[in-house]
Amino acid sequence: MLGFFIFLGLATLGWLGAKAAIDVKQYERSVTVKGLSEKEYVADIVIWPIQFSSASNDLKELYQTIENNKTQIKQFLTEQGIENDEISFNAPSITDKLAQQYGNNNRVNFRYTGLQAVTVYSKHIDLVRSAMTNVLQLAEQGIVITRGDYQAQTQYLFSRLNEVKPEMVEEATLKAREVAQKFAKDSNSKLGKIKRARQGQFSITARDQNNPHIKQVRVVSTIEYYLTD
């Protein structure tokens, strides 16, 4: 009798152990899905550098021309509705071509050239963009506006990312769950709890080259769910 009960106990223990192993194995079944949230927002900060150049054979005259140009540009900006505290001036960069080591300096028309930028930093996007369309008025006043320099590129910034993060993460999570539920249904399984989740980095890019002030904010969440029968 003692041997029989020992045998029965060991058999029961083995059956329970096997069942537990099967349950654990089934519990390890999972599916990994991704959820995307993508939205468009208008930038809330614009940095607009207006870079201009001047040339002269007289250094004092060159500095005076630069000062006159600065005054004209500031007046133009204020007439466009831009506030004084949104306008800043960089230090001018002066080049003496006769002092340069290389090049044929005998053919230089103007010994001195000056380059300076007036920068607008504003949260009034529409106002500044309107002023950009009227910048040719400065050329009509004899101010040489330079373009193409990477330092003179207009920048549009979106600084409200922390405000939109919760909503976008929630949307990405819901979309990931929809995909997981579809997978579970197609595989005759039931969707369980989240096993692990990873939030991707947020990316902010211009919607297109013609509308750099419209930003496309994007995030992808990767979530792994348990599957059960």
If we measure between CA atoms, which residue out of 204, 209, 94 comes closest to residue 153? 209
Specify the length of the chain in residues.
229
Tokens linked to 17: 């152990």
Amino acid 199: pLDDT: 86
User: Strand 112-122 relative to strand 203-206: parallel, antiparallel, unpaired?
Assistant: unpaired
Q: Where do the H-state alpha helices sit in the chain?
A: 2-27, 59-79, 125-133, 136-140, 161-186
Q: Would you state the torsion angle of the CA atoms of residues 99, 103, 109, 113, taken in this order, to the nearest 10 degrees?
A: -50
Element at 41 (helix H, strand E):
strand 30-42
Quick: pLDDT tens for 126-142.
Answer: 999 999 999 989 988 99
3-state helix, strand, coil in the chain (%, to 5): 45, 35, 25
CA distances from 158 to 22, 46, 185 (A): 52, 9, 40
Quick: pLDDT tens for 78-89.
Answer: 999 999 999 999
Of the pLDDT bands very low, low, confident and very high (cuts 50, 70, 90), residue 48 is very high
What percent of the chain is predicted at pLDDT more than 70? Answer: 83
Tokens linked to 200: 């991707």
pTM given for the model? 0.77
